[in-house]
Structure 1
Amino acid sequence: MIRPEKRVCMSVKKWLQCFIGGIFYLYCSSCSAPKNITYFQDMPDTARYRMVAMAAFNTPVIQPDDILQVSIQTLDPNATALLNQQNTANWPVSATSPSSSTGAGVIAGYLVDKEGYVILPLIGKVMVKNKTTDQVRDTVRTKAAEFYKDPVVNVRFANFKITVLGEVTRPASYVMPNEKITLLDAIGAAGDLTIYGRRENILLIRDNNGNKEFIRFNLNDSKIFSSPYFYLRQGDVVYVEPNKSKVVSTDVAQVRRISIMATVLTLLIVVASRVKF
């Protein structure tokens, strides 16, 4: 017959073992890797070719406070240097190029004023608001042709900035090299998602005539290529949410407490197993 003291000891040991097992399970589950880490999971592994309809690309238009790089080339080197001297003006920004790992820099170009004009040397004021860079290029070329023969004009955005935040390798604001930028380009510039990023719930935040638009993307689904928001605009913000594993793993104090409790309870089990009542 088992003595009451022995029965109590066995109950305590069994309870401690169950408690340790529960803590160990919780610890392991909190550190488990997310399952949905593969992009475009609806694409079959055996498919060698599949066509997906692409979203239409709308050329971005210039707005006040944009910065433009305008270069005018002529047959006269002195005139060319004079026409392009303001392109060396630096406007401070908190953005990086896609190849840079720093968080601040400068942008050279012409600032669009609140009324939508830029002022070019010799050319004067040019209205650029709500125009594409191609339209501004044609306008500047026409004005420059009044003074110079066969001028060559190039116009591009100098501050086509996209901000990528959240669970990416390098969250920052990035000045992109051209106007045709996709969601995947922005994520790639930021070094891709970390293992803790939610691929199925990417958030795009966009200014639209003074209002904020919020759009969700699922990188596990190839339908994103058909989304009208697949091509980004200057000023867009991309946010990658952390998954549950990240939320749990960042609670360092909780993990530390669990580890200490597990160690103490293990010692108690060892001690209890050696005690004779």
Structure 2
Amino acid sequence: MNLFTTKRLLFFIIITLAICFSSCVSNKKIAYFQFDEIDQENVSNVYKTVFKPDDLLQITISSDDLEAVKPFNLPAVAFSAASNAVVGQAQQLTYLIDSNGEIDFPIFGKLKIGGLTREETIYMLKSKLSPDYVKNPTVNIRISNFKITVQGDVSKPGTFNIPNERVTILDAIGLAGDLNISGKRDNVLVIREEGAFKKEYRVNLLSKNTYTSPVFYLQQNDIVYVEHNYARIQSASSNTNTGLFISITGTLIAIITLLTR
């Protein structure tokens, strides 16, 4: 084997290893909202909260007649079953929506609210309360355990409690510290519970069409998952086999050196 052939072979080995160990990410795969135009006709700031099993609801009934609404409001307590003592600030008890989508409401008994929006539930309660029990009632409902989960290739994966129930997929990503450079932005997965099923949605954060996605506004218990891009996967694989590659390279160089003497 002549010197020229040896140099070419060594050059080929070096280039191959460089490709294996390098992981370049194009800017076109990083910047958000760089493609498409916003279709304003399909963009809406309206979002609806739909109540689901396992939601914990704080329901407050108000009116000018305090005595009339008293039977319909759960008491506020600050009691810990663990320590058997009064702890912290008193908070109103909550209603748990059971697996049938029902809550056990004072006076009225079982009420089916699973699958209803907040507006629909408020209308139903007002219809039952007025005028027989409470005149001109005001009904306030909030979910006390509204949460979303962000997993995958983000800076701070975890589960986050949302106090105001209004959270977009961008808010969720912000809570998780943004995607890592190696996060796959064009195929973000959102898993949502819809009735007895789990439904998957895909969102391309590189496109402005994200604003019109049915999961732009997240719902309680939604899971956002960011995949690793191909370069990250290859890098992880390469790092696992680094010792093997170095050993093989050293052996090849030794063999080539012997053959060219």
Q: Same fold, TM exceeding 0.5? A: yes
- Cα offset, 1:215, TM superposition: 2.2
- Cα offset, 1:13, TM superposition: 4.9
- Cα offset, 1:147, TM superposition: 7.2
- Cα offset, 1:151, TM superposition: 6.8
Letter in 2 for 1:255: T
Which residue does the alignment assign to 2:89? none
Moved more, 31-40 or 8-17: 8-17
d(CA) in 2 for partners of 1:246, 1:126: 52
**Among 161, 183, 190, which residue is 2:176 paired with?**
190
In 2, are the aligned partners of 1:72 and 1:84 still within 8 Å (CA)?
Answer: no
Secondary structure of 1:242 counterpart:
coil
Identity of aligned pairs, percent? 31
Which residue does the alignment assign to 2:24? 32
Q: What pairs up with 1:38-187 in 2 under 5 angstroms? A: 38-42=31-35, 52-53=40-41, 54-55=43-44, 57-72=46-61, 83-85=74-76, 109-120=94-105, 123=107, 125=109, 127=111, 128-137=113-122, 143=129, 153-187=139-173
- Over the aligned positions, Cα root-mean-square deviation in angstroms equals 4.0
d(CA) in 2 for partners of 1:89, 1:119: 22
- Cα offset, 1:197, TM superposition: 0.9
In 2, are the aligned partners of 1:37 and 1:195 still within 8 Å (CA)?
Answer: yes
Secondary structure of 2:155 counterpart:
coil
Relative to the length of structure 1, the TM-score reads 0.67
Which residue does the alignment assign to 1:22? 16
When residues 38 and 129 of structure 1 are mapped into structure 2, their CA distance, relative to the original with a 3 A threshold, is same
d(CA) in 2 for partners of 1:41, 1:168: 20
Secondary structure of 1:22 counterpart:
helix
Secondary structure of 1:199 counterpart:
coil
Secondary structure of 2:227 counterpart:
strand
d(CA) in 1 for partners of 2:222, 2:74: 32
d(CA) in 2 for partners of 1:143, 1:88: 30
Secondary structure of 1:131 counterpart:
coil
d(CA) in 2 for partners of 1:202, 1:160: 21
Relative to the length of structure 2, the TM-score reads 0.71
In 2, are the aligned partners of 1:43 and 1:222 still within 8 Å (CA)?
Answer: yes
- Cα offset, 1:246, TM superposition: 0.9
- Cα offset, 1:150, TM superposition: 7.7
What stretches of structure 1 of length at least 5 have no aligned partner? 1-6, 45-49, 91-107
Q: Deviation string for 1:35-72 (max 9, x for gaps)?
A: 3100011379xxxxx88441463523223322112245
Which residue does the alignment assign to 1:203? 189
Which residue does the alignment assign to 1:258? 245
Paired positions, count:
240
Which residue does the alignment assign to 1:94? none
Q: Deviation string for 1:199-238 (max 9, x for gaps)?
A: 1111222333334433221111111112233222223222
When residues 230 and 261 of structure 1 are mapped into structure 2, their CA distance, relative to the original with a 3 A threshold, is same
When residues 213 and 13 of structure 1 are mapped into structure 2, their CA distance, relative to the original with a 3 A threshold, is same
d(CA) in 2 for partners of 1:172, 1:69: 25
Secondary structure of 1:256 counterpart:
helix
d(CA) in 1 for partners of 2:156, 2:136: 44
Q: Deviation string for 1:168-192 (max 9, x for gaps)?
A: 1222233322333222122222221
Which residue does the alignment assign to 2:85? none
